[in-house]
Structure 1
Amino acid sequence: MKLYLCEKPSQGREIASHIGARTRGEGCITGNGVTVTWGIGHLVEQAKPEHYNPALKFWDIAHLPVLPDEWHMEVKDQTRDQYKIVAKLLKQATEVVIATDADREGEV
């Protein structure tokens, strides 16, 4: 399956209309051998400072700089369902087209 990964739902609907995907699914649109899905803003974010050290929950200049050995990402609570859909579709895909916004974050 060829998977188009878009930045947001409106962009996904627009691309789907041009490539023959017409069947709405949960968090995606499919058809004509392709699937279009999307993020909802950012699906993941950097872990909060207290993830690395509970003392960092409260700001104190004495704790600076915060330089973990390894930076972690966390799925945002409000986008968890769409994250799971995208992750599942990525595992099924044989080809992925990154069709995110045409800006510095994601060049179409």
Structure 2
Amino acid sequence: MNTIPKHVASRTLTEVKWNATLLGDDVVDAVRKLKEQPGGDILKVGTGGSFSRTLLEHGLVDEYLFWLFPVIAGSGERLYDGIDTTDFDLIEVKRLTNGVVGLTYVPNAR
């Protein structure tokens, strides 16, 4: 993990370390340019927040992996508050022995 290049979206940072690069003020353009480069997949860790909403709104997410844990928590924010309905197709299910389920979705092309 230490050698993998990291790209940081931030409204407050002016510099980053640990093999990282700031995406800059126009994160949509920066992510589009990253997607055009050769080299494999781009992984964004975490689901909520304005950056996730921005990526979804601009069609920059090719695949979602949601891990479903058998725990109920009674608080927290909605993952994509303010986003209109987006349909997805389930393409893979991974079931772990501890009850955790990994669900892989792609945006619906309809």
Structure with greater helix share of residues: 1
Q: Same fold (TM over 0.5)?
A: no
Q: TM-score range by the shorter chain?
A: under 0.3
TM-score, with length taken from structure 2: 0.25
Report the TM-score, using the length of structure 1 for normalisation: 0.25
Structure with larger Rg: 1
